[in-house]
Structure 1
Amino acid sequence: MPPDSSRLSAPLRVRLAVPAGLVVLITLIGTVGYAWLGRDQGATLLDALFMTVITITTIGYGEVIRLDAAGRVFTMVIAITGIGSLFYSLTVIMEYLVSSRILDPFGERKMQRDIQNLKDHIVIAGLGRVGRQAAAEVQDAKVPFVIVDPRPETQQYARQHGYLLIQGDASDDQVLEQAGIRQAKGLIVTSGDDATNLYIVLSARVLKPDLFIVSRAVDEASVPKLLRAGANRAISPYAIGGRRLAHLILSPAVVDFFDTVIRKGDESINLECITVHHDSPVAGQTIAEFGAREKTGATVLVVLRDNRVLPNPAPDLVLRAGDQLLALGTSDQLERLEELMA
């Protein structure tokens, strides 16, 4: 007869409640009983607990409390009930381990539970060459993410790298819901087909209007279409690759510097964009009053305000709610800056 999946899928702590409770109860009864039986022999609670444990576990090193006929009867009762409860607990544990392996051989249920618990994560649609690079960068930044890809061969790659994966079509609203799109803070669309990317962007924008969406554009002409569909940013990897190659020839040191500061896994120096919120204590303060460098060690390079770029902001510049600060510093310095602005 096949196992009851609903019963076997219950949490281990729930299934262990009764047998473990019996073991604890019998241990307490045995300890109290042996303490009472050995009261005339000067037995301590430790002696009584020792007698209970060696009886339940069938070790039987030797009696530290001399037993009369009543004591032997009590010992037999403790042995039968205690051993039964202990083996009952071990059976529940082994059944749980075996059934978990049978019912969920690839850990899909655990993965789905992990995905349901995600919040402020990133959804990556597609695990091709571009998607793998995006996943590696997000993982280096220690930001939670989940990947959506319909191809079966991506499962092994995701398991090898410890990625959360949902096998499905990201243009399907139900699949995006399963990926926690309503709790996500961003979506990266990396499909190799612009029409598919367009459908994914439209679906995600409808499900969460304030979601930040970045999409790949195979054809440069698809960039404005993706933007009109709801993407916040749309880029062509081929165009970026060409510009990067040219910049490496024209200004290699500059490219190397920006590669360093935008790499989240690098602890030496990072470039971070931090927003001044309405309830931030620095809103209404000048750069000098804010004192970012003196208090945190990070340097504010640029202030982004109303689609304007204010480079090297003056000390008397008053910060407003909605301003975005591009700050340069180590990871620790930038964390202190975010705490100061929170």
Structure 2
Amino acid sequence: MKPLSGRLFESSRYQRAKLLIPLALVVMVTVVGTLGYKWLGKTQGASWLDSLFMTITTISTIGYGEIIALDASGKIFTIFIALTGIGSLFYSFTVIIENLLSSRLIDPWGERRMQHEIKKLKDHIIIAGLGRVGRQAAMELHEAKMPFVVVDSNSESLQLASQQGYLLIAGDATHDSVLEMAGVSSARGLIATTGDDASNLYIVLSARALNPKLYIVSRALDEFSIPKIIRAGADRAISPYAIGGRRLAHLILSPACVDFFDNVMKKGEEKFSLESITVGAASPLRGKCISSLTLLRETGANVLVLVRENEVIPNPDSSTVVQVGDQLLALGTVEQLDRLENLLAG
């Protein structure tokens, strides 16, 4: 079976070729009618505009009246122009409607439009699989106004993505060509959330080979699959069941802490947020001690944790030197965190 893009191309080329015939016939009838009426009205001083007007009113069935007086031969000529012109016009409309309907049937998700928009994306997220976990991830990214592309082959998932207005690719994310269509080379990250660990493993392998710098997070149904998915190239692999169980326990042990982190981790809100911000190579703060910085006064955001490689430094002391690549976990409003990010990125 040919891929959708190939069928779309062949259908589009066929429909264009099919549409040329009636359109060419309409043009030919218009030219012949204009020349004929010009000849019929030469003794009456008919202009080219008069001749064209007679032709258009005849084939469009408007019938404003005769500008050029017609004898028997003129009436016969008008009958010929009316029959061929009206027929060609109706045939053209039929082909146009058929083209619109067939395009919608062949491409129900608007793949050509989607591909055009996806090609313009940079630093976006790819969600491979729009099941229950993928839908939740898509909702979070949508609320955070983070651009993302959904890749799935299930018709129900595609219908849901289309209803929500998500950018989507109808295909199997385990195929390199599908990931390339989703813009994996220019993407910021990928979330593999299919309901099969083997599929997630293949997706991670393909994505890592296509973009070595891609940040990849994968779902794992079986906790024993987590090390394998990590070895395949994922930066993180998590089990939703394990996370759900820990969350339920934490809600019993310390519900206030869970509620707090739910609020600060939710993006797109005007409330306080917890954000991880990386120190850029052009940052004017690199190489300086925390004590010499007035981040709280300048931005209003409070730095809680410094992450350097695999080392976590809570409440960094005044002697800590900021280095390129450090990640600062800061608490503040959206505006405060934006100011801090601009300052650290340089």
TM over 0.5: yes
1:205 partner SS: helix
Aligned match of 1:40: none
Pair 157,3 (structure 1): closer, same or farther in 2 beyond 3 Å = closer
Preserved contact between residue 15 and residue 99 of structure 2 (Cα < 8 Å): no
Residue 231 of structure 1 and its aligned partner are, at CA, apart by: 0.5
Residue 184 of structure 1 and its aligned partner are, at CA, apart by: 0.4
2:186 partner SS: coil
Preserved contact between residue 267 and residue 273 of structure 2 (Cα < 8 Å): yes
Selected match of 1:231 from 223, 226, 234: 234
Aligned match of 1:37: none
Preserved contact between residue 304 and residue 330 of structure 2 (Cα < 8 Å): yes
Q: Deviations over 1:236-295 (max 9, x none)?
A: 000000000000000000011111111113220111111112221110122233311111
TM-align CA RMSD? 2.8
Selected match of 2:143 from 131, 140, 145: 140
Pair 5,309 (structure 1): closer, same or farther in 2 beyond 3 Å = same
1:169 partner SS: coil
Q: Deviations over 1:56-106 (max 9, x none)?
A: xxxxxxxxxxxxxxxxx99x79x98xx99xxxxxx9xx99x9698446424
- The runs of at least 4 aligned residues of structure 1 exceeding 3 Å deviation read 2-8, 97-104
Q: Deviations over 1:309-333 (max 9, x none)?
A: 1111123322111111001000111
Q: Aligned residue pairs: how many?
A: 267
Preserved contact between residue 301 and residue 328 of structure 1 (Cα < 8 Å): yes
Aligned match of 1:243: 246
Q: Give the structure-1-normalised TM-score.
A: 0.71
Aligned match of 2:32: none
Residue 7 of structure 1 and its aligned partner are, at CA, apart by: 6.5
Selected match of 2:168 from 165, 169, 191: 165
Pair 3,258 (structure 1): closer, same or farther in 2 beyond 3 Å = closer
Kindly, what percent of the aligned residue pairs are identical? 58
Pair 226,3 (structure 1): closer, same or farther in 2 beyond 3 Å = closer
Residue 135 of structure 1 and its aligned partner are, at CA, apart by: 0.4
Q: Distance in 1 between matches of 2:264 and 2:97?
A: 48
Aligned match of 1:45: none
Q: Give the structure-2-normalised TM-score.
A: 0.71
Letter of the 2:314 partner, please give it. P
Preserved contact between residue 289 and residue 320 of structure 2 (Cα < 8 Å): yes
After superposition, residues 301-340 of structure 1 pair within 5 angstroms as 301-340=304-343
- Check if 1:271 corresponds to 2:270: no
Preserved contact between residue 268 and residue 330 of structure 1 (Cα < 8 Å): yes
Letter of the 2:125 partner, please give it. I
Preserved contact between residue 5 and residue 103 of structure 1 (Cα < 8 Å): no
Aligned match of 2:85: none
Q: Deviations over 1:148-205 (max 9, x none)?
A: 1111222211111011111111000000000000010100000111111111111111
Letter of the 2:181 partner, please give it. Q
Q: Distance in 2 between matches of 1:3 and 1:203?
A: 31
Q: Distance in 2 between matches of 1:3 and 1:115?
A: 21
1:182 partner SS: helix
Q: Distance in 1 between matches of 2:125 and 2:113?
A: 19
Pair 3,316 (structure 1): closer, same or farther in 2 beyond 3 Å = closer
After superposition, residues 1-342 of structure 1 pair within 5 angstroms as 101-102=100-101, 104-105=103-104, 106=108, 107-342=110-345
Aligned match of 1:34: none
Pair 101,341 (structure 1): closer, same or farther in 2 beyond 3 Å = farther
Q: Distance in 2 between matches of 1:101 and 1:157?
A: 23
Pair 102,288 (structure 1): closer, same or farther in 2 beyond 3 Å = farther
Aligned match of 2:60: none
Pair 333,100 (structure 1): closer, same or farther in 2 beyond 3 Å = farther
Letter of the 2:292 partner, please give it. E
Structure 2: state its 5+ residue gaps.
1-10, 18-45, 58-88
Pair 318,149 (structure 1): closer, same or farther in 2 beyond 3 Å = same
Letter of the 2:128 partner, please give it. A
Letter of the 1:318 partner, please give it. V
Pair 220,5 (structure 1): closer, same or farther in 2 beyond 3 Å = same
Give the stretch that moved more between structures: 312-321 or 234-243: 312-321
Letter of the 1:129 partner, please give it. R
Letter of the 1:244 partner, please give it. R
